[in-house]
Structure 1
Amino acid sequence: MTLFYEEEGALKLPFDCQALAREVINGALEYIHCPYEVQVNLLLTMNDEIHEMNRDFRNIDRATDVLSFPMLEYETPGDFSHFESEEDCFDPETGELLLGDIVISKEKVIAQAEEYGHSVKREYAFLIAHSVLHLSGYDHMEEEERIEMETLQREILNELNILR
């Protein structure tokens, strides 16, 4: 896996964010049986910047915890089988599947960890797992989709022993 990692703002989370992101991305993709090596872009930023992105890309005028920008369209969530014949889904130099971009607000990670009563590390890992599922075609617009995503997120974090 190639992870293009960038961090903005002076606020630092109390662990190696890049290493944990790699662990969770790999764990999530293994859990949902992604057969490819992948490429993911991750930006850690602050509330002001993610607020601007949320407004510009989703027409929602407030900060959010995480934004996911999938590069691929799925017929069925987590079904990677139809990409094999689509060359433009892969980086021509590395052969990696181009999953997409993740943007996370470090301020929201800290605030939500406190609100939900678990560690900052657990909240960050949760947001990474959540976003990887979005990049893999999962969503939570309908009740059954929400239940499936929540179940997968919990199972992925349990597999990685990143507990509440």
Structure 2
Amino acid sequence: MNTEIDVGQRFDFSLKIVARQVIREALREESCPFDCEISLVVTGDETIREYNRTFRGIDRETDVLSFPALCFDAPADFDSAAEVAADCIDPDNGCVVLGDIVVNACRVRSQAQEYGHSEKREFAFLVAHSMMHLFGYDHETPEEAERMEQRQEAVLASLGIRRGEAPAAPGC
């Protein structure tokens, strides 16, 4: 995992450790057969707004962005992605580049307060959500959304990260 933390604010947990745990568990839950590389950027409103404007044509902040490197015929269908994966190997480490995740630290704080759970839970949820996008899941239809939610909640539950964790004091 390549990590860039581009925010001056502190959290009461390690962003890198939680992200690594969630990413590893998502890879395990989805039975990913590849050694993968994922890049994670944790930033603020302005930078994520710029990413959103540049890469999606949407001029506003968001909570998380996912940039998959592989195409799947169906979510987590690694057989279909195997041919493409061969073209996505980082020559420095031999890992398949799965994609990039960009998390907005300000939204971690505000959404944790809004939903009444801890910042750690919100951050872990956003990483799990983004991992599902890297595996080819989406939430365009109610059926897709339900399946994706089940998969990301399975990741969090297996790590013991549940809704209802006490929120921290507000700030950002």
Is the TM-score greater than 0.5? yes
Aligned: 1:6 with 2:4: yes
Alignment of 1:3-152 (within 5 A): 3-86=1-84, 87-152=86-151
Q: Per-residue deviation at 1:83?
A: 3.6
Q: Per-residue deviation at 1:85?
A: 3.7
Q: After superposition, what is the alpha-carbon deviation per residue over 1:68-119, rounded to whole angstroms, capped at 9, x for unaligned?
A: 0001111111011134344212223322111010000100000000000000
Q: Per-residue deviation at 1:55?
A: 1.3
Q: Per-residue deviation at 1:11?
A: 1.3
- C-alpha distance in structure 1 between counterparts of 2:49 and 2:83, whole Å: 37
- C-alpha distance in structure 2 between counterparts of 1:133 and 1:88, whole Å: 21
| Secondary structure at the counterpart of residue 38 of structure 2 | strand
- C-alpha distance in structure 1 between counterparts of 2:94 and 2:78, whole Å: 15
| Secondary structure at the counterpart of residue 101 of structure 2 | strand
Q: Per-residue deviation at 1:17?
A: 0.5
Could you tell me the TM-score, scaled by structure 1's length? Answer: 0.94
Could you tell me the TM-score, scaled by structure 2's length? Answer: 0.90
Gaps of 5+ in 1: none
Q: After superposition, what is the alpha-carbon deviation per residue over 1:117-159, rounded to whole angstroms, capped at 9, x for unaligned?
A: 0000000000000000101111111111001011111111111
| Secondary structure at the counterpart of residue 151 of structure 2 | helix
Alignment of 1:149-160 (within 5 A): 149-160=148-159
Q: What's the Cα RMSD here?
A: 1.1
Gaps of 5+ in 2: 164-172
Identity between Structure 1 and Structure 2 (%): 46
- C-alpha distance in structure 2 between counterparts of 1:84 and 1:144, whole Å: 26
- C-alpha distance in structure 2 between counterparts of 1:88 and 1:22, whole Å: 24
| Secondary structure at the counterpart of residue 90 of structure 2 | coil
Q: Counterpart amino acid of 1:55?
A: R
- C-alpha distance in structure 2 between counterparts of 1:126 and 1:75, whole Å: 25
Counting matched residue pairs gives 162
- C-alpha distance in structure 1 between counterparts of 2:151 and 2:20, whole Å: 18
